[in-house]
Amino acid sequence: MDFGFSAEHDRLRRTVREFALNELAPLAQEIDASRQVPPHIVNRLRELGLFGAPFPQEVGGLGTGEIGYCIVMEELAQVCGGTTAMVGAHTGIGAMAVYLDGTEAQKEEYLAGLARGTILSAFALTEPGAGSDAANMKTTALPDGDEFVLNGGKIYITIGDLADIVIVFARTPMDESDGWGLTAFIVRSDNPGFSVVRTEDKLGNLGAHAAELSLDDCRVPRESVLGKYGRGFITAMKTLDVARVSLAACCLGQAEAAFKISVDHAVEHQTSGGPLAHSQSVQWLIADMSTEIEALRSLVYRVAWLVDQGERVTQLASISKLYGSEVATRSVNRAIKVVGTAALEHGSLLERLYRDVRVNEIVEGTSEIQRIVIAGSIFRESGVRISP
Ligand SMILES: Cc1cc2nc3c(=O)[nH]c(=O)nc-3n(C[C@H](O)[C@H](O)[C@H](O)COP(=O)(O)OP(=O)(O)OC[C@H]3O[C@@H](n4cnc5c(N)ncnc54)[C@H](O)[C@@H]3O)c2cc1C
């Protein structure tokens, strides 16, 4: 058993931390207020290779695996939610789907650009009435000669307005059963049938827009099918299994940021009885945060290590995401108790964290869906099948 990070992972953490603290943190409030990650920051993410951390060097990635990618998410999340969400949407779900399920031709065409961040990607599963219940999806892709014709729409698609390619999930006819299956497609954003309808005015992670997308007689070649025809649900779940681990790493970073703010405040803020740290109620808040953060860190990096060993981690990924999202929320709430009114001052890191953490319990499967996945895995081992 070895609980240490490799020298390469330590180096990566130093690089990302230096970038996050020196270049990103001073701009984080402006990114939030302007609702945009500036192009020079996107270029720095490219230069540092951060869009391609988990992918092998042969395809242009950093080759640091899921552990390296979790380090990137943990460090970025401590300073800027919008930038973290952008990297998460592109690397964690968009590019990851191509890496995990792309054909050799698709990987040849897209993977190097995706890993370098010169091609940005988004992952479009959600529709009105089809968030948790993907089977209720209305978007269709009908075969027409050598093409598929996609019609429908998607909502809340992170960086759907910036992406050069979007992984779109659609219902497709299944010959053998006369029914419908789900299929994933790579859709280029310059396709005349693809358009961005609008971006949502949302609560947090404001630098990364959530876009509504429209597919209107959007014709794509047959070669655009990602993964197996009719098996899009498997492509989605395979991708989300890995993505949920890195989302938990993002939660870890947010919880750590809240913790650091709390400790600094408790040490610096003087009351009539000395520093706030003398107060037992504050000590308990800090101790509870620390306990949960340590548990989350062990969980995240153990599961990331399993991903790098090629293990399927469905249950553990859901456990990480469920626990991580709750720890991030609890840590920020506790930090607000420690800091008091100043915590809610508009423009403070804690105020941004308060808004940014909320969505962790919703995206990539809500907490209720994670509980269903976890319980489903447990009962399946006893021969009992449960369905959502
Ligand atoms: C900021 C943001 C960014 C997003 N980015 C993306 C993206 O990039 N790509 C993408 O495809 N989607 C994205 N989403 C969509 C997100 O994944 C969905 O919002 C999420 O899956 C929940 O779906 P819903 O909002 O339709 O809620 P619903 O599925 O309608 O759920 C409503 C409530 O009912 C509960 N519920 C639903 N079904 C069950 C059940 N069977 N058992 C118990 N409880 C249940 C849920 O847990 C939830 O509490 C994003 C959303 C947000 C807010």
Query: pLDDT tens across 189-220, in order?
Result: 999 999 999 999 999 999 999 999 999 999 99
Q: With a cut of 80, say whether residue 291 has pLDDT above it.
A: yes
Tell me, rounded to whole angstroms, the distance of Cα 170 from its chain centroid: 21
Q: What is the pLDDT of residue 381?
A: 86
Which secondary-structure segment (H or E) carries 41?
helix 39-47
Tell me, rounded to whole angstroms, the distance of Cα 26 from its chain centroid: 23
CA-nearest residue for atom 43, ligand 1, is: 368
CA nearest to 188, candidates 171, 165, 207, 222: 165
Distance between CA atoms of residues 167 and 125, nearest Å: 8
> Of 18, 294, 364, 368, which residue is the catalytic one?
364
**Amino acid, res. 12:** L
How is residue 6 annotated by DSSP? P
Which ligand 1 atom sits closest to the C-alpha of 372? 42
Which ligand 1 atom sits closest to the C-alpha of 204? 1
Q: What is the pLDDT of residue 219?
A: 98
Cβ of 158 closer than 6 Å to ligand 1, yes or no, is yes
CA-nearest residue for atom 7, ligand 1, is: 157
Q: What is the pLDDT of residue 178?
A: 67
Q: State the average pLDDT for the chain.
A: 96
CA of 198 to the centre of ligand 1 (A): 19
Mutating to test ligand 1, I would choose from 123, 154, 156, 373 the residue with most ligand atoms within 8 A of its C-beta, which is 156
**Amino acid, res. 343:** A
The dihedrals phi and psi of 142, each to the nearest 5 degrees, come to -105, 135
Q: With a cut of 90, say whether residue 277 has pLDDT above it.
A: yes
First to last CA, the chain: 37
- pLDDT tier at 137, thresholds 50, 70, 90: very high
Q: Note if 256 is an active site residue.
A: no
Q: Which two tokens stand for residue 51?
A: 């869009």
Point out which residues pair with 123 in neighbouring strands: 167
Query: pLDDT tens across 208-265, in order?
Result: 999 999 999 999 999 999 999 999 999 999 999 999 999 999 999 999 999 999 999 9
Q: What is the pLDDT of residue 388?
A: 65
Mutating to test ligand 1, I would choose from 91, 120, 121, 126 the residue with most ligand atoms within 8 A of its C-beta, which is 126
Distance between CA atoms of residues 322 and 355, nearest Å: 18
CA of 338 to the centre of ligand 1 (A): 31
Cβ of 363 closer than 6 Å to ligand 1, yes or no, is yes
Distance between CA atoms of residues 263 and 90, nearest Å: 33
